[in-house]
Structure 1
Amino acid sequence: MVDEFESKYEVSQVATFIQTHNFKRVALQFPDELLKDSTEVVRALRKELQSSCEDVKDIGLYVMADTTYGSCCVDEVGASHINADCVIHYGHTCLSPTSNLPAFFVFGKAPINASNCAKHLCDYASSTTKPIMVLFGLEYGHALQDVIKVSNVETTHMSGDTSKIQLHFAEVMGQSMIPTNSSETNCSSCTADGDCGDDAVKRTYRIGGLVWNLEEGQSMEDYSLFWIGPDNSAFVNAVLTFNGCDIVRYDATENQLLTDTSQQRRILKRRYYLVEKAKDAAIVGILVGTLGVAGYLNMINHIKEMITRAGKKAYMLVMGKPNPSKLANFPECNVFIYISCAQTALLDSKDFLAPVITPFEAILAFNRGSEWTGKYVMEFQDLVASTPVGTEITLKEARFSFIQGGYIEDPDLQDADEEDEDATLALANMTEKALQKRDDDIKTVAKGTAKSGAEFFASRSFQGLDINSNSNAPEPFIIGRTGKASGYNHETSKD
């Protein structure tokens, strides 16, 4: 049992990573569902370090929970509170490149019936004329070689012509990540559609910590996708990014193949609707959803400049994990742009007062003349990987027809854009006049004209829940003890 536990959490590999780089302050990041095992992991890791390291007392292990943003990303903000040298990330991860701290990822080992999975894979491969690209959740990477081995056996024993069956498997980028001075980490210059360098013979694709190559002249539309794993954010990321491919999903929990991905594909229609709605926005809120993923500052600068060029006002908001209650404090914002990793970027904003869109959708909405070809980019690093700050990003867009059920060319696209531009400029002018209107309420903090975003938000009658900042508020009635738990105000020192 102990060996199985240590194998699941890869205790020896983690200890080797710590010792190899001589890290002294190590942050162990656990998601909520694995937090119950954190004490046992620390105990096993401490024991492993003692058996191979003499100065183990100098190594500090700190458990982190309740991440600042999504638990799939390395929480560099939380790790900085203890001046950590590195982060050991446990559980599901998007494997987004970090900005400053080295990281080691323990994906876990989810149970899977490799024989059953390989059988479904071969049956599906024999029913299609396209080659198959096998993608998977990182927690199933430990069983990939078993699936490959059984698939080769199944293909050999299948009756009929099996020479046309072509199976290709993605690989995990790696478990460790050492950020460099460059914003490119773990070959982040390889986009979902692009090459890895001008001299590359093969095209390199990556998504969610997976990487694979295609021969020159081939594209992902030439393949069918076979996904191994649950219906989670990683799967939705793959469906949207490669929405031009036929995709099936093998559920390792139920041991069955699911071919209906219409629910995930409907998300694309919903996102397109939000893009159209965002075009009429006059005030835009930029939600910072990460402070650790490499390149987020460049993306913020691109978005701010793009909004300014569109004649709109932008305000940057940092609030941790957004929810409807938090964003309701900013009713002036007509739309929010959420800058985060690919697997947390899609917020279901049906309960929000204003839509929440991704950087890719913002570029489609605010860059005049941009066109949507049906491709969808989730990684914001891919949008600015080769674009200097200040350069306008242009994308081609094909209008989606809900009647025809697909993307169509719109001959009136240019005229529609001109009408939208006139309407947007009119809204922007009205907003400018509203911001400059004199505030008649003498009790507001920013009496007079609003010259900045801070003054504008401060001019509202609602000033938040900090009762100490309002001199007219009644004195608070304190029940219980006051002070810190280490020494309350009524307690006297025992010294």
Structure 2
Amino acid sequence: MADAFSSSSETVIQRVVDVTVKTNTPPEELEELYQIKKTCDFISQHQFQKVALQFPDELLVDSVAVAEEIERHSNVKTFILGDTSYGSCCVDEVAAEHVGADCIVHYGRACLSPSKRLPLMYVFERRAVDVEKCASTFRDLYPDTQSHVIILYDVNYAHAINDLVTLLSPEYPNLVASELVVEGEQCYSHGRIKRQHDDTCPSDKDSSQVICQFGRQFSLKSGSSITDYRMFYVGQEGAALRNFMMTWNRCSFCSFDPITMTGRTESVSINRALMKRYYAIERAKDANVVGILVGTLGVADYLTIIQQLKETIRRAGKKSYMFAMGKLNVPKLANFLEIDIFVLIACPENSLLDSSEFYKPVVTPFEMEVACNKNREWSDEYVTDFRHLLPGGQSHVPLADQQEEADDTDVSLITGALRSHSLLLSEPAESSYGSSVVLRNPTLTVANTNSAASFLAERSWRGLEQKLGETPVVKAVEGRRGIAIAYEEEGTSS
């Protein structure tokens, strides 16, 4: 009987795998889809010499043709950026700086997170949408013409929103359409997008009637709040819709999918989703060692939130370690078993990571602050944009007094064990004898060092030992050739 693994190495190497690849866009459609003329005008207006073109994976098939057209009309040198280290919705400024680019042109879906290093132009996909069908679905979902409804949408459908509002506004006097807003003076785009400086973009704190969040801006009627409105979203189910629903979790949502041309009332239980996030917060309270995952190098103020998180975690008596590993997956995080919980610093759309498959939970900076900052309480407010947590942000809460934290203890809702909010304060205090002492919680008899080193010391296997000088020196010999499934010198078993 032949062995099940008797196939030769040549057969394995030459095996063909079927992969579905998107077909190239016809040359006559490139101009409309990728806005080549407007891109060339943007380049010529600012006299750029090197241009970085950032494409998501699904649009890379057209990248060479687009780059050739831009070079032919603008006489510039282009660089194609693909396979971004983090989410493709964010601008990859680091990769652009590596090639010395003067500006970036970002194609496809975008989270519109502010970036300030290089001049930037957004070019969204102009995906087709049946405006008549969308309006008809809207009427079915909102039969009451006096309903207060805010229209949100994926950026790829921004070109069709004006037509949709024109059809619906005569019937719905309380209809509000959001507009896209790019923060920062170096940003440029086309279509319905607006450009504003950071200090002129209003927020919930500056005005109760104007909301400016996640690159969207809309105005509310005088005397009303966001909770008085319903939301209608144009686009597919995904990170953008999930981000909106978690942030405005007290508003009901309906959506229209332009691909399937169907509408529905979003049935995802926000309360259940919020309870899952609250469970992750309880896990964060129990954690001793925290891993800070750097999930962006382009969103403004990401370095500031890292420093704030480090201080918040240290004040809570926990140890923190920082990791920069690009796109996250289960095997990567499984290499660090000494970490009790991870906190992900990313754009709002990528922050809400489903960590059900991971060995350890992955929380947001807001959830870590709820776990570590005694002054911040869990409420119906949910913050996905970490910039709002910084000093001056609309959701910033100062840290509690260090002495109050040292005296605070409670009981874990998961393990039932006694825990201290500040088990060990690492900030030394000078004694009268000039030596440093460490403040310990008097309610606990043993202080925990809370470090990854203590976890490593308890493991039975700690890695390969060098044993310098103990291993005899032997002459190198030729090893096996081929692949492990069938080395060349091995015969076929029968």
TM-score w.r.t. length of structure 2:
0.75
Higher helix share: 1
Paired residues of 1:125 and 1:166 also in contact (CA < 8 A): no
1:22 aligns with 2:77: no
- Cα deviations by residue, 1:338-367 (Å, 9 ceiling, x for unpaired): 000001111111121211000011111111
Distance change (3 Å), C-alpha of 1:246 and 1:70: same
Corresponding position of 2:65: 40
1:370 aligns with 2:366: no
Corresponding position of 1:108: 125
1:83 aligns with 2:76: no
SS at match of 2:410: helix
Corresponding position of 1:119: 136
Name stretches of at least 5 consecutive residues in structure 1 with no aligned partner: 50-55, 156-161, 180-184, 395-414, 442-456, 465-470, 481-495
Corresponding position of 1:297: 303
Q: 1:173 aligns with which of 181, 193, 196?
A: 181
SS at match of 2:387: helix
Amino acid at match of 1:29: Q
Corresponding position of 1:343: 349
Distance change (3 Å), C-alpha of 1:438 and 1:66: closer
| Superposition deviation, residue 370 in structure 1 | 2.5
- Cα deviations by residue, 1:280-303 (Å, 9 ceiling, x for unpaired): 000111111111110101111110
1:380 aligns with 2:381: no
Distance change (3 Å), C-alpha of 1:462 and 1:21: farther
Corresponding position of 2:327: 321
Distance change (3 Å), C-alpha of 1:371 and 1:81: same
1:72 aligns with 2:89: yes
Corresponding position of 1:282: 288
Q: 2:165 aligns with which of 141, 144, 148?
A: 148
Paired residues of 1:171 and 1:210 also in contact (CA < 8 A): yes
- Cα deviations by residue, 1:258-292 (Å, 9 ceiling, x for unpaired): 10332566332221211111110001111111111
Q: 1:12 aligns with which of 25, 37, 45?
A: 37
Distance change (3 Å), C-alpha of 1:129 and 1:244: farther
Distance change (3 Å), C-alpha of 1:479 and 1:290: farther
- Cα deviations by residue, 1:60-81 (Å, 9 ceiling, x for unpaired): 1000101011100001121121
Amino acid at match of 1:423: R
| Superposition deviation, residue 387 in structure 1 | 5.8
Amino acid at match of 2:224: Q
The correspondence of residues 212-231 of structure 1 with structure 2, limited to 5 A, is 212-231=218-237
1:461 aligns with 2:462: yes
| Superposition deviation, residue 149 in structure 1 | 1.7
Distance change (3 Å), C-alpha of 1:190 and 1:479: farther
Identity %: 35
Distance change (3 Å), C-alpha of 1:245 and 1:437: closer
Corresponding position of 2:151: 134
Paired residues of 1:28 and 1:61 also in contact (CA < 8 A): yes
| Superposition deviation, residue 373 in structure 1 | 1.6
Corresponding position of 2:204: 194
Amino acid at match of 2:60: L
Distance change (3 Å), C-alpha of 1:304 and 1:176: closer
Q: In structure 1, how many angstroms separate the alpha carbons of the residues matched to 2:204 and 2:285?
A: 28
The correspondence of residues 263-274 of structure 1 with structure 2, limited to 5 A, is 266-274=272-280
Amino acid at match of 1:368: K
Distance change (3 Å), C-alpha of 1:81 and 1:332: same
1:356 aligns with 2:362: yes
Higher relative contact order (CA 8 A, sep 6+): 2
| Superposition deviation, residue 24 in structure 1 | 1.1
Distance change (3 Å), C-alpha of 1:125 and 1:243: same
Q: Which moved more, 1:220-229 or 1:258-267?
A: 258-267
| Superposition deviation, residue 206 in structure 1 | 2.8
Q: In structure 2, how many angstroms separate the alpha carbons of the residues matched to 1:352 and 1:473?
A: 43
The number of equivalent residue pairs is 411
* Structure with greater Cα Rg: 2
Corresponding position of 2:15: none
SS at match of 1:111: coil
SS at match of 1:418: strand
| Superposition deviation, residue 422 in structure 1 | 5.1
Name stretches of at least 5 consecutive residues in structure 2 with no aligned partner: 1-25, 188-194, 401-406, 425-445, 466-470, 483-494
TM-score w.r.t. length of structure 1:
0.75
Q: CA RMSD in A?
A: 3.5
